Amino acid sequence: MSKFFKTIMAFAFLSVLPFSASAEVTFVSWGGAYTESQIKAYGDTYSDPDSIIFEPYNGGLGEVRAQVESGNVAWDIVDVLPSEAIIGCDEGLFEDLSDVEWSPAPDGTSMEDDLAASGVTIMPPCCAPQIFWTYVAFYDPDNFPGNWSGAKPTGIADFFDVQNFPGKRGVHTWANAIVEMALVADGVAVTDVYDVLETSEGVDRAFAKLDTIKDHIVHWSAGSKPLELVKSGEVVMSLAYNGRIGAANMSEGENFEYIWEGQVIEQEYICLMNGAPNRDAAIDFMIHASSSESQAEQAKYITYGPMRASGIDIIAAGEPWFHTGVDVLSQMPNTPEKIAISVIGDPTWWADNGSEISERYGAWMGN
């Protein structure tokens, strides 16, 4: 066998072998500005910053399940959506952390009570809280359509009101949040949304409301798109992730206006992989990352809100909090007064009904 051939073979075998587990904790998240903020807020403030490796992924539980099922777990901590946190926990893809002692708020409030103060009553047992992010409607006051006759949209009902606020609306291509918003726009109180959705009549009602703006919707699927749509005037209002709007306002000199009333607040969790190679170190880091201080710290770099109510208090006391030296609370989706006018997304309902609603929404879009 020639030397060349041997070398090739050696490389071939090496590339097949999985990379061996090191003592470093692998933290998998969405990438981009979001992961950047996690590195600064959790990684750099950790006792041993170099021991945490941040890696991007595309979301979803597909890869998580593949790793756990094959027994070849390479990740330690995964940043997931709330309904995925629930499904992953049920399926045993994530490890149950009920016994972990999470760090209390500065005034001693337990994490559980701290979360309850933000309106989150059920925490997936395999996960630690991260941030609130929201689906929120927004528009560009510098690009104000003349046919609104000077009126400003103030609530989600205006988003659904094409008579008084004519023009196209940007909406995402999946069902989350838009169903809830339709009900709020139809007059359901923000706290009653999921009770109404529990019945099939409630779901029908939401879709009937959606029908009223169907011909006025431009559907987007990438998170950066709604900003372009609004900026270019392709649509007059759009739903978007609030952090994207915040980044445009705080770092790119935009002047987008939020329509907070009727926004849907979503949770975000970090969960421990079942069979994580560096379990203990990972748990230690999760305790650090979910502490009130770390959560508040993150708001210096991105406008997703801390899930722990005490995190908001820290920010309020420390304004101007953003790393550029400006106030951040006005861009934060979960100050107490905003929570009162928002739907707190119910991941349990979505874990239960997600596929049915998604299929229905897909059929609705295509019709």
Partner 1 sequence: MEANISTAEQILTTDGIPLKDSLKKTERRNKIKAFLLVFPLLLFIIVTFIVPIFDMLGRSIDDSQINTVYPKTFEEYKKWDKDAEELPPEEVYKAIYYELGEGDKIQIGRALTRMNYSKSGWKSLIKKTQRQIKKDLKAEVVIASYKERLIEINEKWADRTYWYAMTQMLNERTPIYYWNALDRTYDAEMNVVMQSEERRIYIKTWIKTFKVSVYVTFFCLLLGFPVAHLLANLPLRYSNLLMIFVLLPFWTSLLVRTTAWIVMLQQNGVINGVLVWLGVLSDDGRIQMVYNETGTLIAMTQILLPFMILPLYSVMKVIPPSHLRAAANLGAKPFTAFVRVYLPQTVPGMSAGGLLVFVLAIGYFITPELVGGKDGQLIGHWIAYHLKTTLNWGLCAAMGAILLGIMLILYWLYNKIVGIENIKLG
**For binding to partner 1 (CB under 8 A), which residues are involved?**
9, 12, 58-62, 65, 83-84, 87, 89-92, 168, 173, 207, 217-222, 232-234, 348, 351-360, 362-366
Q: Using the minimum distance from each CB to partner 1, give the nearer residue, 251 or 358.
A: 358
Q: How far is the CB of 239 from partner 1 (least distance, A)?
A: 14
Q: 3-class DSSP state for residue 223?
A: coil
| Residue 356 C-beta: closest distance to partner 1, Å | 4
Residue 60 C-beta: closest distance to partner 1, Å: 3
Nearer to partner 1, 30 or 207 (CB): 207
Cα–Cα distance, 246 to 348 (Å, whole number)? 28
CB of 198 to partner 1, least distance (A): 9
86 Cβ neighbours under 8 A, 6+ residues apart: 124, 347, 348, 351
Please state the φ and ψ torsions of residue 157, each to the nearest 5 degrees. -60, -35
CA–CA separation, 276 and 96 (whole Å): 12
Minimum CB–partner distance for residue 232 and partner 1 (Å): 5
Cβ-based nearer residue to partner 1, 49 or 60: 60
Residues whose CB falls within 8 Å of the CB of residue 353, separated by 6 or more in sequence, listed in order: 197
Nearer to partner 1, 129 or 347 (CB): 347
| Complex with partner 1: residue 104 or 223, whichever CB lies closer | 223
CA-CA distance, 184 to 285, in Å (whole number)?
39
Residue indicated by tokens 């991007």? 56
Tell me how far CA of residue 179 lies from CA of 213, 220, 347, in angstroms: 13, 16, 13
Alpha-carbon gap, residue 317 to 110, rounded angstroms: 20
CA dihedral 85, 87, 88, 91 (to 10 degrees): 150
In the complex with partner 1, the residue whose CB is nearer, 186 or 284, is 186
Least separation, in Å, of the C-beta of 230 and partner 1?
Answer: 11
